[in-house]
Structure 1
Amino acid sequence: MSSFRWLWVWLLLHLALVLCLMLFNPTPNPHLAKHNGAPGLPPPHSSATIISRRTPPPCSCNVRLLKDFFKNDNGTVKRRQEEYRKHKARASSTLDLLLVAPANSPLQYPIQGFTVVPLKGTPIPGLGVYAPERQIYKVSLVVSRGVLSVKPIGMDGLVEGDGSAYLNITALGADKLNTILGRVHYTSTVYRLRTGDLVHFIFEKHNATFPVVIEQASVPIIFDPGEDINSQVTITTKTFLRYFELNTMIYSIRQYYKTMKIIIADDSFNPIKVNGSDIEQYFMPPAQGWFAGRTLAVSQVTTKYLLWVDDDFYFTEYTKIEKLVEVMESMPELDMVSSMVGRSGFSYRMTYEEGEEDEGGCLMRFRGPHEETVPGFPQCYLSNVVINFFLARTDSLRKVLFDPRLKRAAHSQFFVDAFGKLLIAHCNHVVVDHQTKRPGNDKYLSFRKKNENDENRRLYFFKNHFSCINLRAD
């Protein structure tokens, strides 16, 4: 009998609410319209929030355009444009849109940090209306890549469109309305690793838009650092026809790091086994090149860090790997830190503009690092291009790797590919020496001096979608 009485009370309350709506709100919400057959969806561009997609302006490098080298290769130019459009489709999302919120809005909503797992319902935090008191409160919420629901619906007001892409919520007081808004959930209807949606939040003449990040959390990959430097770092190198230099370097390493693993990628014509403990030597088909060897060596590392060295370096008492590890451990965002090779320790910074879609971007390189230092290490500056003696996080380096099409001198190309992906620093408090060059290795020099300018231009033009590149901008 008691539950029957409560049912009547619930029905009377809702009847009163409907009558109030007819008396005080006889016209529909002017910000809502039927759109694509679904009631409650706003017409296009109805949001008071300014929504726009930034179009990159044209750019220049003050050098010859790369397309000038491909004037007679229409096939390459056409494929480049098509593949770049596919790349943009893969890389762009709703989250790239510029949102400018309206001024003096009574609407409260999340502006950053609202992230949901694909296909899983998540309450929207912070929704609320804080307007002068009125008799009827009515709000609407609209999305495009998910559904909205109130869990549980309760008896605080009327909810229309529960479980769809729109919600109309009506209540007789601000407290009741905000109570319902606190139970609104968003569930994406698309499964993507990272994308987004826009939520339109409408109250009377006020209309705001805020983003939802739809992101599948990734599984972490963590390396056990062990108990000493030998379990933290692997030394990696690539060799080709320089066994005397290679063995000299290994000898110098063993004076200071007797059990640290050394990984060698070897693409010599007549490979010779390198003897010694804690050495892994991987033989490749002959003359595969520097980058193919680097990729092979990096793929075999099982420690948190790897130290990349050339096969003609020489370790001394100033080659303190521990000091580079200390820098990396102090700043978890760092992916790579380099230091000095003898008296040389070049460091460059770069700038990149995306440019127009059909023309391509512009990359410029300048001498010297950025002005910002690594906290606690005033001798270490953030940079974009560093010398070929560096300590790197193994998992970070594997995200960029090395293009095997580049076989000889390809130092700059790696850092071009790594730009925007790796955070790099250059220090000057750790030094490795360079062995004195020996005369007579003519076969090695004949491969080292091969010109790869044509291949470099093709990769910059097609793979990196550059309009131009200036490696000597100052």
Structure 2
Amino acid sequence: MFAILRHKPFLFLLLLNAFFLSYLSFLISSKNCSCISIVDPKNIRLAANSGNSAKQTSGNVHAGEASEFDPTVENSALLDILRDRNTFTKWEERSLRNQGNKFRLKCDCPEPPKWLWKNDVNDRRVAEGRNWDEALDKKLQPMVKCLAMSPLSYVGSGITTEPFQAVPILGLYIHDKVIEALENDARDVHFIVRSVSQLGNIHISKNLAPELMDDFIVEGDGTALLNITFVAGKLRSLNLIIDKLVYKSNSFHVDKYDQLEVNFLKFTNYINVHVRRQPLPDLIDPGDEDDIAAKVTVITKTFERYDCLGRFVKNVRKFYPTVPIIIADDSEFPEVVDEPNVKHFTMPFRDGCFAGRNLALSQVRTKYLVFADDDFVFTTNTSLELMIEKLEDKDLELDIVSAPIEGLISLDYVFKLALDAEQGICAAGVLSSVDAEQREVPGYPQCIWGEMLNNFFMAKTTVLRRIGFDPGFIYAGHEEFWLDAVGKAKSAVCNDVSIGHYRTETEKYGPYRFQSEARRKRDPHLLFGNNLCYWKNWEFEEKPETYT
């Protein structure tokens, strides 16, 4: 055998093909072929007749809305893709997704009224919407074609539908060699599809050529269990029929997976269907392209440092005269801050650092925001335009960009998080095995990816709102926010921008700060919120062992 493989590979392939066909003939002629699938035909009838009143028909299929469905792949090039390839190019995958969206509800938008054309806001909305869609497309579950050692090829994942809507079961195809072998057999052949979680029903299109109607019998059309019996010797229509199968969601779920169990001959395959209610976009009008004040807002939280706050506002105005500034203030006796384009919100005394940041965040109306402490100082190196440039680079998919603070060590770490299956998660410091070169941002050598960054950053407003600042954490905090952001935002630090730091202590501010620092490391709130059983920088007498 090895000699044949080495010297005559073509002969070996012929022998392998003959073996495959012989094996198929064995499966077909087996004594147990009356129960070709792992599903008992008796159960098929029971399931088909329970709930929905399924009818057994000969070709003439009808089950409520099933007549609306015609999922036939219309593009012959797509048929070639489904049959002859085991991978998809981006264009091919996009074409298949378009086919999969065939039954999604669609509309024709009316002509916008005159008031909506004001300041080109409608054009900006459409552009932002397209950007949103492009970002979502990059995160879609990839479409995977499954060939394997089975007579059936299929798309195993990437099939998605909205609740109560339908999607074609893409890619079902029986190899021509298999059909050729089956045509010579005198037995009927079953093709069975079952919704494992019963989140949807399987339909077959009524739109079939009249000459094919006598080739098959259907049980359970429009139910969670569909059985198609192909009449012996009439398998020419097999691929035409299974190409018209449709899955329709029958219950309301926001984000859940169903599995389709497909039985053919003695093979069982599983296809994932994602029932997903697509969230509506969170868009914020970016305003005029050249107006930075329409794009970004500066927010800060202050406590008992009005000289410091005054300097901060004056300094921002020096470089960005019209950019909005939002201040959250939980000082005991608030002073009036009356400056153009500055919003000053007062809070109960010592309501908390993060509660104040949340208050300021809630009032932002621009696409981006900058967070800075009130003792930071804008300099000639504090370029908001350079920060926006990274956030608007579609290839980066960046959510937060941080910058160094002059006079302080720049933070650019990745958290070291380990799992205790019984007790929770250990925040065991930072990963020392991942160096800066591995984390360099493509196209921006001055930037590196990270999770634990500086307290000066610009973020996409919608992303930061999803993370938020936990108001239950009342003390001054830094790591706490970045831990909350893990897995929710993609962040980097870039050294082509920086901000100054003029550290200021007041008679009233200092004692509260150091008191907060001591209490912070014994506050169980954040441990609970992130299911942490250990945090390296807090007061634990023992350290956990970490291993891979």
Is the contact made by 1:313 and 1:434 (CA closer than 8 Å) also made in structure 2? Answer: yes
Per-residue deviation, residues 403-462 of structure 1 (Å, max 9, x unmatched): 112122321111111111111111111011001435xx12111111122246533431x2
Residue 465 of structure 1 pairs with residue 472 of structure 2: no
Higher share of residues assigned strand: 1
**Superposed displacement of residue 329, structure 1:** 0.8
Q: Does 1:196 align with 2:250?
A: no
Equivalent residue for 2:332?
269
Report the alpha carbon displacement of residue 35 of structure 1 after superposing the two structures with TM: 5.7
Alignment of 1:440-455 (within 5 A): 441-450=506-515, 451-453=518-520, 455=522
TM-aligned CA deviation for residue 37 of structure 1: 8.7
CA displacement at 1:137 relative to structure 2: 3.7
SS state at 1:251 partner: helix
Q: Is 2:409 the partner of 1:409?
A: no
Choose the corresponding residue for 2:38, options 31, 43, 46.
31
Taking the aligned partners of 1:370 and 1:165, their CA distance within structure 2 comes to 52
Q: Could you tell me which residue of structure 1 aligns to residue 69 of structure 2?
A: none
Deviation at 1:343, TM superposition (A): 4.0
Letter in 2 for 1:304: K
Which structure has more RCO (C-alpha within 8 Å, separation ≥ 6)? Answer: 1
Question: Which residue of structure 1 lines up, in the alignment, with residue 204 of structure 2?
Answer: 150
Contact 2:147 2:154 in 1 (8 A): no
The alignment partner of 1:311 has SS state of coil
Letter paired with 2:205? K
* Unmatched 5+ stretches in structure 1: 1-20, 42-95
Identical-pair percentage: 34
1:202-213 counterparts in 2 under 5 A?
Answer: 202-213=263-274
Q: Which residue of 2 aligns with 1:338?
A: 402
Residue 364 of structure 1 and its aligned partner are, at CA, apart by: 2.9
Matching of residues 241-390 of structure 1 within 5 Å:
241-331=304-394, 333-344=397-408, 345-356=410-421, 358-366=422-430, 371-390=438-457
Q: 2:451–2:491: 8 Å Cα contact kept in structure 1?
A: yes
Residues 79-90 of structure 1: matches in 2 within 5 Å? none
**Distance in 2, Cα, partners of 1:178 & 1:30:** 18
Q: Against the structure 1 CA distance between its residues 103 and 268, is the aligned structure 2 distance closer, same or farther, given a 3 Å change threshold?
A: same
Q: Does 1:160 align with 2:207?
A: no
Q: Which residue does the alignment assign to 1:110?
A: 155
Count matched residues.
394
Separation in 2 of the partners of 1:247 and 1:307?
18
The 3 A distance-change label for structure 1 pair 458 and 222 is: closer
Give the partner amino acid of 2:157.
Q
1:240 aligned onto 2:303: yes
Residue 67 of structure 2 corresponds to: none
What is residue 64 of structure 2 aligned with on the other side? none
Q: Distance in 2 between the 1:224 and 1:209 partners?
A: 44
CA distance in 2, matches of 1:40, 1:353: 48
| Range with bigger deviation, 170-179 or 221-230 | 170-179
Paired amino acid for 2:322: T
Q: CA deviation at 1:274?
A: 1.2
Distance 1:230 1:164 in 2: 57
Partner-residue secondary structure (3-state), 1:405: coil
User: Structure 2: how far apart are the matches of 1:322 and 1:420?
Assistant: 26
Residue 4 of structure 1 corresponds to which residue in structure 2?
none
CA-to-partner distance for each residue in 1:252-306, whole Å, 9 max, x for gaps? Answer: 1111100000000011111111121110011111111110000000000010000
Whether 1:179 and 2:240 are equivalent positions in the alignment is yes
Identify the residue that residue 80 of structure 1 maps to in structure 2: none
What amino acid maps onto 2:438 in structure 1? E
Partner AA of 1:32 in structure 2: V
Question: Does structure 2 conserve the Cα–Cα contact (< 8 Å) formed by 1:374 and 1:382?
Answer: yes
TM-score by length of 2: 0.67
The code of the aligned residue for 2:38 comes to: H
Specify the SS of the correspondent of 1:105.
coil
SS at match of 2:401: strand
Q: CA deviation at 1:26?
A: 7.1
Distance 1:382 1:175 in 2: 56
Give the Å deviation of 1:319.
Answer: 0.6
Whether the aligned pair in 1 keeps the contact of 2:297 and 2:323 (CA below 8 Å) is: yes
The structure whose residues are more often helix, as a share, is 2
Alpha-carbon distance in 1 for matches of 2:328, 2:429: 30
Counterpart Cα distance in 1 of 2:326 and 2:426: 37
| Distance across 2 between alignment mates of 1:30 and 1:258 | 73
Q: How far apart are residue 138 of structure 1 and its match?
A: 2.3
Distance 1:359 1:25, change over 3 A: closer
The alpha-carbon distance between structure 1 residues 269 and 36, as it changes in their structure 2 partners (threshold 3 A), is farther
Closer, same or farther in 2 for the Cα pair 1:30/1:213, shift >3 Å? closer
TM-score (norm 1): 0.77
Pick closer, same or farther for the CA change 1:30–1:328 going to 2, 3 Å.
closer
**Whole-Å Cα distance in 1 between the matches of residues 156 and 439 of structure 2?**
29
User: What is the alpha-carbon root mean square deviation over aligned residues?
Assistant: 3.0
Q: CA deviation at 1:36?
A: 10
Structure 1 distance, partners of 2:424, 2:356, is 30
Give the corresponding residue for 1:140. 192
Q: Deviations over 1:26-56 (max 9, x none)?
A: 7233421256994489xxxxxxxxxxxxxxx
After the TM superposition, list the runs of 4 or more consecutive aligned residues in structure 1 that deviate by more than 2 angstroms: 33-41, 99-103, 135-138, 170-175, 351-355, 361-365, 367-375, 451-459, 466-474
**One-letter identity of the residue aligned with 1:457:** P
The yes-or-no answer on 1:428 pairing with 2:501 is no
For residue 226 of structure 2, give the secondary structure of its aligned residue in structure 1: strand
Paired residues of 2:300 and 2:372 also in contact (CA < 8 A): yes
Partner of 1:52: none
CA offset at residue 392 of structure 1?
Answer: 0.3
Do the aligned partners of 2:302 and 2:330 also contact (CA within 8 Å) in 1? yes
Mapped partners of 1:416, 1:312: distance in 2 = 24
State the distance in 1 between where 2:265 and 2:404 align: 65
CA–CA separation in structure 1 for the residues paired with 2:495 and 2:459: 16
How many angstroms does 1:127 deviate by? 1.2
Displacement after TM superposition at 1:353 (Å): 4.0
Q: Deviations over 1:82-110 (max 9, x none)?
A: xxxxxxxxxxxxxx9xx997941121111
